[in-house]
Chain A
């Protein structure tokens, strides 16, 4: 959906580095989500946010930090990247009849 952007789209980093992935929506929908996609696991929820300054853990939150100071932005930070965090990361928003729409994804490689 063109209203959800993620940056960067591709990132290579080294083990131990801090990395921040950005998600931006052009609307002001309350709920935003971060998922990771790995082979054999489908998509799994990392964190979600119900509104600005309200966040909660999902299924796989360890090693990640989120913040949401503005409704339209939902950054995901890997404080000290590990190889197991190599994945494709998707941001999503909740619209309409509780339907989720996804951004284009960020492919992260940790070497």
Chain B
């Protein structure tokens, strides 16, 4: 399967700060998604973004499919943003829509 690299692996922010998380893919991907895993372990869908830019409140995401990367922007961070952020994509091979995940960016937002 494809390799998914996320950076940075860990991030500590003070409340109110902005940040950018990056996801690089070793090959072309379909159906790229961003997830937030909250401290209780639940995986929450943030964006389905195979290409282009989307915004949802303080979060936005951009995928440049031709260059095999995606970015997640968090603005005016809040303590509730803490958790692990994963990106995942489906390879172009016949894998039945299965997602390949990165190892995640662990974010801690302090008051």
Contact = CB atoms under 8 A, between A and B. Distances in A.
Interface stretch (A11-19, A67-75, A79-87, A90-98): A90-98
A40 B31 contact: no
Interface string A25-63: 000000101010000111111001010000010110000
A20 interface: no
B108 to A, nearest CB: 17
Size bin of chain B's contact surface = 20 to 34
B41 A105 contact: yes
Size bin of chain A's contact surface = 20 to 34
Contact of B33 (A41, A48, A58, A99): A99
B103 A98 contact: no
A33 B45 CA distance: 16
B101 A99 contact: no
Interface stretch (B13-21, B54-62, B67-75, B91-99): B91-99
Nearest to B99: A100
Interface of A: 31, 33, 35, 40-45, 48, 50, 56, 58-59, 88, 90, 94, 96-102, 104-105, 107
Interface of B: 1, 4, 30-31, 33, 35, 41-43, 45, 48, 86, 88, 90, 96-99, 101-104
Given A50-B96, A100-B88, A104-B42, 20 more contacts: A33-B99, A35-B101, A40-B103, A42-B86, A42-B102, A42-B103, A43-B86, A44-B101, A45-B98, A56-B96, A59-B1, A94-B97, A98-B90, A99-B45, A100-B97, A100-B99, A102-B35, A102-B42, A104-B41, A105-B42
